């Protein structure tokens, strides 16, 4: 489905300048019965930096039906480069809102990914909050790791899935979606990273004040210092953004 989109270019990545309610509404449109193979990505600073060095990942992001701003660095950069919407759109918030909205509709939901029984826990909790929610699949999806054909066989048995949340972490989940989106009868795939862990309380989400201040990344780093390795690209992201700002400024002065 072709959506009307207002996008902002952040270091070569087109990110949608969209409010959270409008993003949810557009995803529900992508999940309509006649739709198939759509996908949504949630972009943070690490996504942008990975796309700059991986042409394959850049291609996947550029083809997404929606590239939503997740991460304070992307939101701030979007505002710097002319965007208007100030809110982050996270995987956790999307899962909860889409499940709530879908409960009153004939929308079939799936949870694919995570470790152990995390997907099942998330599905159970969403069902408890939304008793009428139609959940048709919840599991770690070992088939996705070992064999695409086994995953297709599994989903052929399930039948149609209107919204499939995929949680394998940055990059891995997007490449899986790209491989499988034309093979599975899924309306819209949504990559949600570590959202399952947070919703299942395997990991603690940052307090609301930290989220509002754009410091959720710091909270997650304090709880999981091993994340420092993947966060090493953040200073370079900031340098590149401000480099673009200065370049535009001097260009406006005809330097």
| 65-to-29, 118, 123, 218 alpha-carbon distances in Å | 11, 27, 25, 30
Q: For residue 246, tell me if it sits in a domain.
A: no
pLDDT of 218 strictly over 70: no
For 33-91, the pLDDT digits (tens) are 999 999 999 999 999 999 999 999 999 999 999 999 998 899 999 999 999 998 899 99
Q: For residue 253, tell me if it sits in a domain.
A: no
Q: For residue 252, tell me if it sits in a domain.
A: no
Residue 175, token pair as written in the block: 């490449």
| 186 Rama class: left (phi>0) / alpha (psi -120 to 50) / beta | beta
Rounded to an integer, the average pLDDT of 111-133 is 94
Q: For residue 163, tell me if it sits in a domain.
A: yes
Q: Based on the structure, what is the number of domains in the chain?
A: 1
Q: For residue 212, tell me if it sits in a domain.
A: yes
pLDDT of 219 strictly over 60: no
Identify the pLDDT of residue 209: 58
pLDDT of 186 strictly over 70: yes
**CA–CA gap between residue 63 and residue 47 (Å, rounded):** 14
* Entry pTM: 0.87
Q: For residue 245, tell me if it sits in a domain.
A: no
Mean per-residue pLDDT of the chain: 86
118 lies in which domain range? 7-240
Q: For residue 47, tell me if it sits in a domain.
A: yes
Q: For residue 247, tell me if it sits in a domain.
A: no
């Amino acid at each position: 489905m072709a959506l009307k989109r207002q996008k902002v270019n952040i270091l070569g990545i087109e990110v949608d300048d969209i409010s959270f309610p409008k993003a949810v509404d557009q995803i529900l449109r992508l999940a309509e019965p006649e739709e198939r193979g759509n996908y949504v990505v949630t972009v943070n600073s690490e996504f942008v930096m990975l796309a700059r060095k991986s042409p394959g990942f850049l291609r996947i992001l550029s083809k997404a039906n929606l590239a939503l701003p997740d991460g304070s660095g992307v939101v701030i950069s979007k505002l710097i480069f002319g965007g208007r919407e100030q809110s982050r759109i996270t995987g956790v918030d999307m899962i909860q809102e889409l499940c709530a909205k879908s409960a009153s509709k004939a929308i079939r939901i799936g949870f694919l990914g995570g470790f152990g029984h995390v997907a099942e826990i998330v599905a159970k909790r969403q069902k408890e909050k939304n008793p009428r929610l139609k959940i048709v699949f919840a599991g770690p999806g070992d088939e996705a790791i070992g064999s695409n054909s086994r995953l297709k066989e599994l989903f052929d048995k399930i039948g149609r899935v209107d919204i499939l949340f995929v949680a394998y972490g940055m990059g891995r989940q997007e490449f899986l979606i790209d491989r499988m989106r034309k093979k599975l009868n899924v309306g819209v795939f949504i990559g949600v990273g570590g959202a399952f862990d947070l919703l299942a309380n395997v990991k603690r989400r940052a307090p609301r004040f930290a989220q509002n201040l754009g410091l959720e990344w710091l909270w997650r780093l304090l709880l999981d210092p091993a994340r420092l390795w993947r966060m090493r690209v953040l200073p370079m992201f900031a340098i590149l953004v401000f480099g673009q700002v200065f370049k535009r400024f001097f260009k406006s002065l005809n330097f």
